[in-house]
Every structure is written in structure tokens, then in C-alpha cells.
């Protein structure tokens, strides 16, 4: 299995509750290595650009407001089959549907305040990593 990279966000509901370490521990215990990490306050432009694919969805405005409501931690994660591995440990988007032992089951407050984001494909992982990181910020 190839070692690949994925992009992760620890969302404002999690940073507000001081869960950055707890979430990162679950990512690491799932076999992912944090090869880049920074705590930022996303601008409205960044949120709207990052979630541009959801622009027509009814939750788009609320989602952008939520993502700019407090600090987030953006990360690049590396590991075997990183995209799927991260999705497995995150759990379902709606925490009501997330499996026991996943980050969202453990910590998410709602479908919007669902504690973490993770890329859904290798192609999108590259786009999302490039959106927030320059190559020199990633140290594998
Ligand atoms: P994320 O993985 O960051 O990708 C898009 C986000 O939109 C998702 O997590 C949720 O936080 C949010 N989202 C998805 N579906 C809904 C929904 N039906 N209502 C509100 N927010 C949603």
C-alpha cells in the first residue's frame, strides 16, 4: 500500500473545547503522521474558496460562518492510504451516523460542528493541501 498524504482541519468547535491534542492523538494512533500543521483564523474568502464546491448548498453560508468563528488547525497527514485511513478514523459527516471509536462519534457536536474535515480523494487532497500550504512548510 502506498504512502500518501491527505489534508485535515481541526474545526472551531474542537479548538474551542481545547481538543487539538486529543484529536491529533487519535489521528496518530490511526497510523497517520502530522507532516505539517498550523493554527489559523480562516478568512471569509478562504472559507468560501475552500468550500466552493458546496456554494449552491443550503448550508454553505452557515458553514462559512462557522469555519470563521474561531481558530482552526490545518494539517497535512501522511500514511499508508492516508485519505481513506483519515476518513475511517473521522467517521461519518453526521455524528449521529458515526461509528464508535471515531473522532466525530467522540467529539462532534452536530453535522456542521463536526470537529474535523478530511479530503475525500487523492486528487482533492492535493488541491486542499496546496490551498493552505507551500511545499517548504511540509516536512515529511
Ligand atoms: P466537511 O467534511 O468539512 O465538508 C463539508 C462540510 O459541510 C461538512 O464537513 C459539514 O461540516 C458541513 N455539512 C455537510 N452537510 C451538511 C448539512 N446537511 N448541514 C450542515 N452542514 C453540513
pLDDT tens track for 82-113: 999 999 999 999 999 999 999 999 999 999 99
Q: In what order do the strands lie in the sheet with 72-80?
A: 33-40, 72-80, 3-10, 116-118
Provide the pLDDT confidence category of residue 1 given band limits of 50, 70 and 90: confident
Cα–Cα dist 94/79, whole Å: 25
Strands (E), the chain: 3-10, 33-40, 72-80, 116-118
Q: From the CB of 111, is ligand 1 less than 6 Å away?
A: yes
Beta-bridged to residue 78, according to DSSP, are: 5, 33
Which of 51, 61, 113, 114 for a ligand 1 pocket mutation test, highest count of atoms within 8 Å of Cβ?
A: 114
Q: From the CB of 112, is ligand 1 less than 6 Å away?
A: yes
pTM: 0.97
Nearest CA to ligand 1 atom 21: 112
For residue 73, how far is its CA from the centre of ligand 1 (angstroms)?
17
Amino acid at each position: 500500500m502506498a504512502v500518501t498524504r491527505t489534508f485535515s482541519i481541526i474545526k472551531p468547535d474542537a479548538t474551542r473545547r481545547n481538543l487539538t491534542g486529543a484529536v491529533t492523538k487519535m489521528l496518530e494512533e490511526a497510523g497517520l503522521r502530522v507532516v505539517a500543521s498550523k493554527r489559523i483564523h480562516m478568512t471569509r474568502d478562504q472559507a468560501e474558496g475552500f468550500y466552493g464546491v458546496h456554494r449552491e448548498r443550503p448550508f454553505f453560508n452557515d458553514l462559512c460562518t462557522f469555519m470563521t468563528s474561531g481558530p482552526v488547525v490545518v494539517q497535512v497527514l501522511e500514511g499508508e492510504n492516508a485519505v481513506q485511513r483519515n476518513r475511517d478514523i473521522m467517521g461519518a459527516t453526521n455524528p449521529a451516523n458515526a461509528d464508535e471509536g471515531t473522532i466525530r462519534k467522540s467529539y462532534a457536536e452536530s453535522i456542521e460542528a463536526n470537529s474535523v474535515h478530511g479530503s475525500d480523494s487523492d486528487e482533492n487532497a492535493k488541491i486542499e493541501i496546496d490551498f493552505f500550504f507551500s511545499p517548504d512548510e511540509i516536512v515529511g
